[in-house]
Amino acid sequence: MSKPFFRAVGPIGTPAQTGPSMSFDQGALSSQMECVASEIEALLEEIMTPTPAEGERCRPTRLLEAMRYSSLKGGKRIRPLLLVASANLFDVPRQRALMAGAALELIHCYSLVHDDLPAMDDDDLRRGRPTTHKAFDEATAILAGDGLLTLAFDVASRPAVHPEAEVRIQLVGSLARAAGLGGMIGGQALDLAAEGRFADGRPLKLDEAAISGLQAMKTGALLKFACAAGGILGNANARERDALDRYGVAVGKAFQIADDLLDVEGDKSTLGKAVGKDAVAGKATLVGILGIEAAKARLQSLVREASLSLELFGTRGRVLVDAAKFIAERRN
Ligand code: GRG
């Protein structure tokens, strides 16, 4: 995390759209992020030791190394930050939120490993390092992704996440739905279909609604889960859960637009991955449909929407409000 987190140009949008609504205490959020990132790192280290857990026979060295390579020492850990911050609204003990955050981060890391594979995006660089299939080999990368995914559900089901089995079941079920057929994986399938990447397919022309729906699944679902998970762990009431859902949806949309903008305007060395890939692949994005300036304006209104949805939490929602601004302004 040596690179600056934020765009050097300051708040996004045209001059008329920038202003106090996008200003926030970057230093305070950065230190919260660094704190969560180092706690998650320590937890993942502990979870992925060579010593087999109860019921396991052994942990094959090369596979474990590839899983550790794919998930340790990298990434902004945005999803665990959102989870911990939403759990804080309900005074959930930090260690429980971190355990759930570690499970979520394992799923995110698996998705990156599989997305980088030759059959998917075929990328050589991730988080500033060779992708897992480049650093190891393709079969090991597939297995490492599978290993991270299944380990996530092992972690999410542990009593350290919550002493009540019913709460853990709710959490595990929501996580599975966010990550699976009608969530992230489904979104990835729709994305590949739109690009005409399947054996029986031709590229499809997607309109704004179709792109938004696909992205809500592919990237939005895990981010929305991160926010909802705080409410699950904190036994939030229906109004609070609805507020977190609305926040999570807005933040998911903002995250994807910011990601698309980075692909157009970002810098490979800051991002730690290739840029300009969407245009080369002819990928339909909201930035492509709306244009850069309108996409930046949309980002601003999504941040406002995210902030407004947290009004019932008052000043306690501050970290989440700042996180939404960070997500919109991030430069990596
Ligand atoms: C399971 C094959 C498979 C795919 C699922 C989420 C996804 C679909 C693929 C990930 C590829 C990707 C780059 C999607 C765009 C948005 C995204 C998830 C960016 C990376 O997330 P960050 O910025 O990454 O949180 P770090 O490295 O900070 O963790």
**Ligand 1 center–CA 14 separation, angstroms:** 28
Quick check: CB of 215 below 6 Å from ligand 1?
no
Q: Whose CA is nearest to atom 18 of ligand 1?
A: 219
- pLDDT confidence band for 22 (50 / 70 / 90): low
CA atoms of 8 and 73, how far apart (whole Å): 24
Q: Which of 40, 78, 107, 111 to mutate to test the pocket of ligand 1 (most atoms within 8 A of CB)?
A: 111
Mean pLDDT confidence for 239-254: 98
Contact 240 CB / ligand 1 (< 6 Å): no
- The length of the chain in residues reads 332
131 lines ligand 1 (CB under 6 A): no
Distance 92 CA to ligand 1 centre (A): 27
Over 70: is that where the pLDDT of 34 sits? yes
Tell me the per-residue pLDDT of 136-191, one tens digit each, with 9 for 90 and over: 999 999 999 999 999 999 999 999 999 999 999 999 999 999 999 999 999 999 99
Q: What is the CATH number of domain 26-329?
A: 1.10.600.10
Q: Is 75 in the pocket of ligand 1 (CB under 6 A)?
A: yes
3 — pLDDT class (breaks 50, 70, 90): very low
DSSP lists the bridge partners of residue 126 as: 129
Label residue 20 by pLDDT band (50, 70, 90).
very low
How far is residue 193 from each of residues 121, 279, 284, measured CA to CA in Å? 13, 17, 12
Burial string for 86-123 (b: 16+ CB within 10 Å, else e) reads: bbbbbebeeebbbbbbbbbbbbbbbbbbbbbbeeebeb
Q: Provide the residue type at 215 as one letter.
A: Q
Does ligand 1 lie within 6 Å of residue 127's CB atom? yes
N-terminal to C-terminal alpha carbon distance within the chain: 10
Q: 3-class SS at 214? A: helix
Output phi, psi for 9, to 5 deg: -75, 0
CA-272 nearest atom, ligand 1: 27
The token pair at 66 is 């590839």
Name the closest-CA residue to atom 13, ligand 1. 112
- Residue 273: name the closest of 69, 79, 129, 110 by CA: 129
Q: What is the identity of the amino acid at 33?
A: M
Nearest CA to ligand 1 atom 7: 111
| Mean pLDDT value across residues 77-88 | 98
To the question of pTM greater than 0.85 for the whole model, the response is yes
Q: Of all atoms in ligand 1, which is nearest to the CA of residue 76?
A: 28
Residues 193, 127: contact at Cβ < 8 Å? no
Look at the block and give the residue holding tokens 């947290």.
310
With 80 as the cut, is the pLDDT of residue 306 above it?
yes
**Residue 60 structure tokens:** 């094959």
Give the pLDDT confidence of 272-285 residue by residue, as tens digits. 887 877 777 778 89
Beta strands in the chain (DSSP E): 125-126, 129-130
Query: Which of 259, 260, 262, 327 to probe ligand 1 with, by most ligand atoms within 8 A of CB?
Result: 259
45-56 pLDDT, tens per residue? Answer: 999 999 999 999
Residue 17: pLDDT over 90: no
